[in-house]
Amino acid sequence: MSVTNLHGYYLEDISVGMSDSYAKTVTDADVVMMAAISGDTNPVHLNEEFAQETMFKGRIAHGMLSAAFISTVFGTKLPGPGCVYVKQSLNFKAPVRVGDTVWATVTCKDIVPEKGRVVFDTVCTVKGKVVVDGEAVLMVSRRPD
């Protein structure tokens, strides 16, 4: 298999309105690994007794874990392998808990061909409720000659 066969969509293949998703059920191991990898050991993520005393009334997953699922869509589906993140805005709307299934969806909203950039709306939902939304800009390569 050539490296070219691994490449996702090229800039010329993308159109406004294209969309794709990734779903992941968050496990306790995911939260513990996120804390280990990121160094974010805030007890609201790791200590149920502490978290019970917060406004969330229990442990919550790291917001950036849900954001990582957006990255999964970009890196594996749309645009897929070969794209590069340039910018991402994130608005955290609601907590995610162990056992929740997070759906990360990206939708192309604009293409800037002269710069090789694609703008996407990004959203993560749990049971249809928005938990994270925002906008991303990705660099997408042109089809080789």
Let me know if residue 57 belongs to a domain. Answer: no
pLDDT at 3 over 70: no
Let me know if residue 35 belongs to a domain. Answer: no
Beta strand segments in 26-139, E: 84-92, 101-112, 117-126, 129-139
Count of structural domains within the chain: 1
Token duo for residue 55: 């406004």
Let me know if residue 46 belongs to a domain. Answer: no
Give residue for tokens 């997953």. Answer: 61
Q: Band the pLDDT of 89: cuts 50, 70, 90.
A: very high
pLDDT at 120 over 90: yes
Pairing mode, strands 117-126 and 101-112:
antiparallel
Let me know if residue 77 belongs to a domain. Answer: yes
Let me know if residue 71 belongs to a domain. Answer: yes
Q: Band the pLDDT of 6: cuts 50, 70, 90.
A: confident
Q: Band the pLDDT of 53: cuts 50, 70, 90.
A: very high
72: containing domain: 3-26+62-139
pLDDT at 71 over 90: yes
> Residue 90 maps to which CATH number?
3.10.129.10
pLDDT at 7 over 70: yes
Mean pLDDT of the chain: 96
CB within 8 Å of 69: residues ≥ 6 apart: 22, 24, 102, 104, 124
Let me know if residue 51 belongs to a domain. Answer: no
Q: Band the pLDDT of 61: cuts 50, 70, 90.
A: very high
Let me know if residue 82 belongs to a domain. Answer: yes
Token duo for residue 26: 């968050």
Let me know if residue 122 belongs to a domain. Answer: yes
C-alpha 44: how far from its chain's center? 21
